[in-house]
Amino acid sequence: MVFRKPPDGGWGWVIVAVSFFTQFLCYGSPLAVGVLYLEWLDAFGEGKGKTAWVGSLANGIGLLASPVCSICVSSFGARPVAIFSGFMVAGGLMMSSFAPNIYFLYVSYGIVVGLGCGLLYTATVTITCQYFDKHRGLALGLISTGSSVGLFIYAALQRELIELYGLDGCLLIVGALSLNILACGSLMRPLESSSSPPPEKTCVDKVPDQYFVYCEKEKTVEENISILEKGYTDEKCVNNVPDCKQDSILNKNVLSSISINEKDTYKKKVVEQTNFCKQLAKRKWQLYLTYWKETMVLFKNKVFSALFVAILLFDIGGFPPSLLMEDVARSANISEDDYYMPLISIIGIMTTIGKLILGILADFKWVNTLYLYVTTLLMTGVALFAIPFAKSYLTLAMLSGILGFLTGNWSIFPYVTTKTVGIEKLTHAYGILMFFAGLGNSLGPPIVGWFYDWTQEYDTAFYFSGFCVLLGGFLLLLAALPCWNACTKQSSKLPPNTYSYKVASNA
């Protein structure tokens, strides 16, 4: 489908607003799951690594299913997917209030809520990129702050609801709030096509010519009709020989009572529908083959291949603090009287600021977005190495703020992906990258929890996390540096919506 030029305004700002609230409502509880994590530890008495799977699945399963989410958004559109996913998120949260054990939460909170969030995230990012071009960085930064604001508010809200109504009542109320996603999804009006609608065609004509696999000459309609008549008569004779003549006479009488034009019209429709079904099946198979061929082409791009490694390692190491920071403070024997604000709330508000600032920076022509993204990875790795040395609330709060700000690089990741592969391949490429991000989200917190279960301290776990993030940043930088000149030389040969990176000093 060919969309008209992005308006960079108008209804696009409504899309930004509803996408913001959609991410606020769906990601508020999963990102602030650290508050629930402490309650589940006390309620079910399981290990930290085992309990951490609930929050990691909720944040990772939707990203793991990103290829499927991308196909759903491409096939059905952002609006239907958003409305359907709103029911999933709300239903999963409400079911979690009746969880009898940790395994039930794996399904209700981890899989159902996580998959709904993944569908909503893909829908909001895709439709925002369709509506914006020049201000895409700002638009993506604004909508991505919805999840960060949700983290900031839901961390305090869920703690207050737990005190008033208990864990079960908290989940029921949060699930009811998520139903507002349905109203947001209904406003996601798709971008209109650039050309006027073509004249109406028959069902067969609607299948594009390039997907017709039949190379041999098609039989005429009259030949197909004669085959149908012969097949029907032969089948009756084989199944019931004595009735063959009787059925033939009866058929002749019936056919003689119908006008010739009506018979021809009916038989032609049968033949057309038969051919259409065969051609449609071959078309779908051809589309699947094309999808995998395009995937292989994407991985031939050095920057894209390095991106999927970097995002995997970043989420393995960078995601656990947002889930486990409250337990880190409790393990460091920090008194609750020293708490001025929940550490998760600090991460949330600083992530909001980081997404806005990084998103605005990405719109400046003199800023190289890939260099900017690599810088955030390297700084995140250093901050993770510093967590074991933090023994007071003040130092943990400072590190939480730094990590939250750097985690705001999620707002420029779609921007980097678009610049790397082009807007036409954004949905395809982004789905693949989010799969690896989900794998990192799912594995990171349990790995850190298992490290604690083995060593009874978090120091080794965060050394491992910092190493993973630093390794991903250096690999991405090494993969990108050698191809600056090559990308610059070939920029004129690239498709209109495919971009090449240039060193910031030469821009």
Place of tokens 């995140």: 380
Confidence (pLDDT) at 12: 86
Task: Looking at the structure, give the CATH architecture of the domain made up of residues 275-484.
Answer: Up-down Bundle (1.20)
- Measure Cα distances from 475 to 302, 472, 482 in Å: 11, 5, 12
Mean pLDDT (whole number) for 129-158: 82
Confidence (pLDDT) at 483: 47
Q: Which of 238-252, 333-347, 447-461 shows the lowest mean pLDDT across its residues?
A: 238-252
Banded pLDDT at 221 (limits 50, 70, 90): very low
High-pLDDT (> 70) share of the chain, %: 73
Q: Which of 77-81, 328-332, 466-470 shows the lowest mean pLDDT across its residues?
A: 328-332
Banded pLDDT at 505 (limits 50, 70, 90): very low
Confidence (pLDDT) at 272: 63
Q: Which of 48-52, 142-146, 294-298 shows the lowest mean pLDDT across its residues?
A: 294-298
Kindly indicate whether the domain formed by 1-194 is annotated with CATH number 1.10.3720.10.
Answer: no
Confidence (pLDDT) at 368: 83
Would you say the CATH fold of 275-484 matches that of 1-194? yes
Confidence (pLDDT) at 207: 44
Q: Which of 120-134, 220-234, 419-433 shows the lowest mean pLDDT across its residues?
A: 220-234
pLDDT for 265 beyond 50: yes
Banded pLDDT at 273 (limits 50, 70, 90): low
227 versus 287: which is more confidently predicted? 287
Confidence (pLDDT) at 248: 52
Mean pLDDT (whole number) for 348-369: 83
| pTM, two decimal places | 0.64
Banded pLDDT at 203 (limits 50, 70, 90): very low
Average pLDDT, the chain: 76
pLDDT for 252 beyond 80: no
Q: Which of 175-179, 237-241, 352-356 shows the lowest mean pLDDT across its residues?
A: 237-241
With helix as H, strand as E and coil as C, how does 149-172 read?
HHHHHHHHHHHHHHHHHHHHHHHH
Whole-number Å distance between alpha carbons of 120 and 66:
10
Confidence (pLDDT) at 453: 83
Q: Which of 76-85, 96-105, 210-219, 479-488 shows the lowest mean pLDDT across its residues?
A: 210-219
Confidence (pLDDT) at 174: 94
Confidence (pLDDT) at 337: 64
pLDDT for 206 beyond 50: no
Q: With contact defined as beta carbons under 8 Å apart, do 169 and 36 qualify? A: no
User: What does the buried/exposed string (b/e) look like for 153-181 if buried means 16 or more CB atoms within 10 Å of the residue's CB?
Assistant: bbbbbbbebbeeeebeebbbbbbebbbeb
pLDDT for 161 beyond 90: yes
Mean pLDDT (whole number) for 450-475: 88
Question: Beta partners for 193?
Answer: 3
Secondary structure class of 193 (helix, strand, coil): strand
Confidence (pLDDT) at 383: 92
What is the DSSP annotation of 332-396? TT--GGG-SS-HHHHHHHHHHHHHHHHHHHHTSTTS-HHHHHHHHHHHHHHHHHHGGG--SHHHH
- Report phi then psi at 3, rounded to 5: -95, 150
The closest of 122, 93, 94 to 110, measured between CA atoms, is 93
Confidence (pLDDT) at 86: 93
Confidence (pLDDT) at 282: 64
pLDDT for 448 beyond 60: yes
pLDDT for 366 beyond 80: yes
**Which residue ranges make up each domain of the chain?**
1-194, 275-484
